[in-house]
Structure formats: C-alpha cells, structure tokens
Amino acid sequence: MEDIITSLNDTRSYRVITLANGLTALLISDHKVRAPSSRHSSSSPNSSQRVSHEQLSVAEETPKDNGCAVSCLPLPPKISIASSIANYITERKYEDVSHDNKSLGPDVSAGRSYSPDSLLPLSDEGSSDESASDDEDASGPGSEMEGNSDTESGHPSQSESKPLNTKKDKMAAAALCVGVGSFHEPKHLQGLAHFLEHMVFMGSEKYPRENYFDAFLNKYGGSDNAYTECEKTVYKMEVHQKHLGRALDIFANFFVAPLIKEESMERELQAIDNEFQLVLPSDSCRHQQLLGSIAHEAHPMRKFMWGNTKSLKEVPLIEGVDAHAALRSFFEENYSPELMTLAVQSKHSLDDLEQMVSKIFSAIPKRTATSKLTGFLPHEPFPLEQFTKLYKVQPVKKVNNLSVTWALPSLLHEYMTKPLEYISYVVGHEGAGSILAYLREKSWALSLVAGNEGTGFHHNSTCSLFDVTISLTEDGLKHIGEVLTAVFGFLAMVQRKGPIESIFNEIRTVSDNNFRWCEEESPLDYVERLCSNMQLYPPEHYLLGETCLFEYDPAIIQNCLDMLVPQKANIMIISCRYQKQGICTLKEPYLETQYCVQDIPQEWTSAWANLTPDPYFDVPQPNKYIATDFSLKEEADYQSELPVQVRETGCYRLWYKKDTKFNVPKACIYFQLISPVMYMSPENAVLMDLLGDILLQNMSEETNAAVCASLDFSISVHENGLTIRVIGFNEKLPVLF
C-alpha cells in the first residue's frame, strides 16, 4: 500500500483495508484525538501504510502507530469568531457564506426522501443477535466518548430517548459508493439505476420491514440518503456513536440481500416522479439533457438519467419489459463488492472499526460484475455535424446566456496535472486582459464562468467537457458574433503563448495551502466525498487527488488547448426573448425544452478562420495575494470569551477576538459603516443595493485574484448600514482590505 498524504491539522487516524470479497474500506477514527501536528499510520493484515507529505514539503515521516493519515479537502473558512464580533456590535445575525456542493446537480438523480409520518414504529426484527439490543455489543469500546458536534440530520427525530446534545455529540457516519450508475443501465429502461437506488433501501432479507432503517435512524438521531450519478451510486447514513454497529449491519444488508419487492415499486416510482418534477424548471438540467440528446445514439450520455413514470412504467408496459425483473438483474450484474468503496468515521478505535466492518461487510457476496462500459462507445460522444451548430434555447427563467462547449477525450486519468484546471484559471480570470474585462468594457456581459463542472456528466470515463458560459446584457445579446470572436480570439492567444509554468505553480500553491490548512467538515459529508474519491484515485491520493496538482506537464495542457477551436465548438444561446419570437419549434422529449438548430452564420466562421487576438488580451498577472507566511500570533495569558474593544475614537470602534480553537492562520474582518441613511426610504434602499452591486463589479478586476488565492469578501447593505466582510489567510488580508 502506498503512502497516504495528510493535512498537518488532521487529528484523526486512518486505515485502509481490503476485504476478502474485494470491497475496499477506509476507516476513520476520532478515538483519542491526536495533536494536529502529528500523523499516524497503521498496518492491518492486508495493508502497510506510511505517511508522506513530500508534495506539500511541510512534513517529515513519522513512526508507524495507529492510523493512516488522511485529510479533508479545501472548505470555506469557519467564521464563528467574526460572527460573534458582528453580532456584538450590531445585535443582528449575519449569515455564514457557504459554498454548497451538495445540491442537486444536473447530472445527479435526486436522493431519497421520506415523510416521517410514513415511518412504522421501531421494533426488533431480523435474525441478527444484535437486533434485540441497542447495539451495546456491536458498538464496541469508546461508544460513549464525547466530542465536538458536526451533526447534520436529514430527518426529524421521533425518538423517545433523550435528545442529542448538539454541542457535545458527534455523529458516526458511513458512505458506500458503487462504481455503477446511469451510464450502465439498459437503453429500454432509462432511469433504472436511479430506481434501484430507491428500491435497495426498501428492506432486506435480514431486516425485511420497509423503512425499518429510517425508523431506526430517527430513533437514534440519525439520517440516511443516496444519489445516483452517471458512473457511481452513493449511499450514506449517520447515527449516534453508540448505535453504529447495528446501523452498519442494517445498512450492509441492503447490499447482501435486498428484497426489491414488487409491491414497493409503485411508491418509489412516485418518489422518483416527484423528484423529476423538481428537475423540470431547472435550466441547468435542461441544458444538460439537451446537450446529451445530441450525442451518438449508442452513447450513454444520450440517456435520460433521472427517470420518471413514463420511462420506468408506461414504456416498459407497452414494450412488454418486466421492470421488476430488470431491477433484480441490474443489481445482480453490477452490485458486486469489488466495485464498492466504503468510508466509515466514528469515535471507535481503528481496531474496533476494522473488526466491525470486516465482520459485517464481508457478508456481501461476490457477483458477476459487468459494470465496465463496453466497447460500443464511439471515439467522440457527439457527431460533429450535429454538435457544431448554433442552438437557440428557450429557458424557464428570465436569462440571456451564451454557452460554448467542447467535448475532449476523458481526462480522469490526468488528475496529476488537471489540465482543465489550468485552462479554467486562465480563461476565467477577471483581471485586466481577460475576456470578461473586455466584454464588460463594451457593456456586453455581466459575468463569465469557464471550466469543467466536475459532475459525472461533464467529467467521466468517456469524455470531459469544457464550457464557457457568459451572462449577457441586452446589448450583448445583439452582438453575439463579436462576443464569440472575443472568446475564440482569447483562446487563440493562450494557445500561441502556450502553458506558463509560473501560473501552474500558483494554482498548485493555492490548492496546497487550502489542503494544508483545511478545516474539519461533518462526518457525513466527509465519508460521502471520500468513498467517491476511492473510486478514482490510488490510496495515497484519496484525500487530495480531487483538488491538488502534482505534476506540471505542458504537453498535456497544450494538447487540450489546441482542441478548443471554433470548428469543434457547440454554441447555445439561451434567451428568454425567444419565447416572443416563436422560433423555438423543436422540443427535447424528456424535459420538453423548446429550441431550434441553425447553421453558424458564414460571416462568423469567416472571421474565425483567421483569428487575430485583440492586443488587449493577456494571461493573468502574478498573484500578489497568495499567502506564504502561516505563523500564528502568541496567545495572551487571558483570553476573553467575548470580543474585546481594543480602540475607540470619534470615528470608529475596533473589536477583537482571538481564535483559540482552530489554530489556523486565518482571520475574519467585519468593517461596518453605520448610517441611518441607507434605509430611510424605499428609494434609498434600492439605491444602496445597486451601489453594493456596482462596487462588487467595479472591484472584480482587482479582487478576482484575491478570490483565486482563497481570500473571500462580500459587501452587504442592511438597515444599520453597509458591511464589508473579508476572510482568509492573515498575511494577505491587509493587501486586500
């Protein structure tokens, strides 16, 4: 087993084991939390791990002890201290900034949901000797240990037991990823993988009662959920530490022998149909489905992955297909343990976790796995004659967007270099010389986003998509040809300059800094992310393979750049104005998106044949906001629990609170201009909101580099005045502020 790289601040211990049936498990222990600067590695009978941090150049090897070091990926900074300062001054709450990457993405089938009223009373059942207890035997030692709360519960508790103390009780969590998704389902049953995800939770041979697991988790303050992607399906749950063993046994038996009862199908079909109704008004989902409809007939990207009553019930009935038999067949052919990766986090020791997981999950039998996509796939997912057209699309919302998309070969295996990360950084920057700055100067665009979304649809084993999406002004909508020429001209400039190592090193340094100083996330989110990473990366990169850059390979980057040419681009204009024009006469069959297809105008293609980039265009300049000093201030003998006023003049008051909990070199600053003028009238309120937006846009050329260096800021207007909030590494905050 190779070395696993960890963050310096990770206080947990880890172990990777492979069971006899082929399932790989990552065990994460909060037991006897260690000091942040130390790292441990553990050897189990099937593994031998050491800690290595050479890529980050910040650590030495340490003696083997009890755990293989792992870490979380970059997260938004916690700002509890800054919040307390702001609350203390203004006596009002400020909302934490949260980058929520758990929402339903366009490639993800919605997870399971249950009404608490539908849950049956919990009673003992099953043949397990654990089933008549509250898991005292299964949980093992350490089950009553206390820790900081990171609890997130998806279900209201109906427990008669004492409520959890959210300040002390940290949940245990587990997530299992099966390397099978919507791409693998048969063409005649679209949405089958998502349907199976729902049906798996409807009881097992050992625990046959439908929704028994949800009742159990509700009783002990837990929750569960699942989602289906293109090439994976993830199941997750959390529960109080004391009941982890029992919960894992119920959870594992869904994959040992699920009932998949025919009488449960109708209810779950209704749940899937309800989720489909949530997808219908999403313009991003509509864009994906329309793009997928252009793919080759035999390509899995063409499938309708959400599924609904029509695709899973009505069409199979007409064609004489037994959907119930297909569900069982899909499970038996794909849900084999060698395709499964499991992550479990709790306060149990690693030895107890290994014993528990080995005993429970070894019961999953090997099956005839056929999950790999077969060789019928064409070299390119999209036929160029259909892909390289101009699509005009009628959206649901009032938007005017331009989307330019390229389909590149799969880049999953190029995670060491991440060429699209480099290209996204260069194309998407907002400073002087950028596409966005150029378009804003002409009042043609409001915003620009470039890159790969990282979802299963956009980044999979068949292809990787690169997209440039521009939010257009009304004037920009009238100058689509010039906007496109600017995009292609900028790309031509970047292609001619070639990859620049100093820019790559800046991106790598920022990702390394974020990894080194990442902060702990909830156990449920943590195991969910890690079990998916285990499908993609070798053990040494389970934790940072998703975001960190390892090797500068200019040839790979240049190869990707050279494919971003006008002749291979798909162009979609998504505008609310098309509804009045009545030109969108075609309809996508599943989400019923209205659109039309046109040839790209000859005058445009002629202009693109001999592109001369505008002299204004340039790559990003060196980023002055990247932190290099991570030293911490010495603590005073006495630390107040509340913010302390350290200075007051006739113009301002300054309050300070030392962070004594997280010990990371980050600061949070709130600067509030207090004035009653802001909200004295409705007109003032509107003008102040406009002022805030104008300030943000006018500063974006300068502040975008700071955001790229993991500094964060916002400007908000409220009844007490205007607040500027800045968060990030201590060293560079004064430069931004």
Provide the mean pLDDT of the chain: 83
pLDDT for res 502 = 98
Residue 88 confidence (pLDDT): 36
| pLDDT of residue 727 exceeding 90 | yes
Coil vs helix vs strand at 315: helix
Residue pair 736/706 in contact by the 8 Å Cβ criterion: yes
Got the DSSP string for 644-659? EEEEE-SS-EEEE---
What tens digit of pLDDT does each residue of 327-376 get?
A: 999 999 999 999 999 999 999 999 999 999 999 999 999 998 665 665 55
Q: Is the pTM of this model over 0.85?
A: no
Predicted confidence band of residue 466 (pLDDT cuts 50, 70, 90): very high
Determine phi and psi for 506, rounding to 5 degrees.
-65, -45
pLDDT of 371: 57
**Domain-wise residue ranges, the chain:** 80-96+631-736, 116-361, 384-499+552-609
Residue with the larger pLDDT of the pair 82 and 244: 244
Please tell me which residue in 95, 130, 136, 197 is annotated as part of the active site. 197
Q: Judge if 116-361 and 384-499+552-609 fold alike in CATH terms.
A: yes
Contacts of 497 (CB under 8 A, 6+ apart): 619
Question: Is the Cβ–Cβ distance between 130 and 137 less than 8 Å?
Answer: yes
Q: Report whether pLDDT(518) > 50.
A: yes
CATH number of 384-499+552-609: 3.30.830.10
Q: Name residue, tokens 């199941």.
A: 235
Quote the percentage of the chain above a pLDDT of 70.
79
Which pLDDT band holds residue 2 (cuts at 50, 70, 90)? low
pLDDT at 610: 87
Say yes or no to pLDDT of 536 above 90.
yes
Q: How much is the pLDDT for 633?
A: 76
pLDDT at 377: 60
Distance CA 535, CA 546 (A): 11
pLDDT at 55 over 50: no
Query: 80-96+631-736 in CATH: which number?
Result: 3.30.830.10
Residue 273 banded pLDDT, cuts 50, 70, 90: very high
**Strand 172-178 relative to strand 340-346, pairing:** antiparallel
* Per-residue model confidence (pLDDT) at position 139: 37
What is the pLDDT at residue 661? 75
* H/E element, 195: helix 192-200
Active site (annotated) includes residue 333: no
At position 625, the amino acid (one-letter code) is Y
Q: Which residue has the higher pLDDT, 1 or 544?
A: 544
For residue 52, name the pLDDT band (cuts at 50, 70, 90): very low
Better-predicted residue by pLDDT, 80 or 466: 466
Give pLDDT, residue 631.
Answer: 87
Is residue 315 pLDDT above 90, yes or no?
A: yes
pLDDT at 596 over 60: yes
Q: Domain 116-361 classified CATH 1.10.287.130?
A: no
Q: Average pLDDT of 12-22?
A: 94
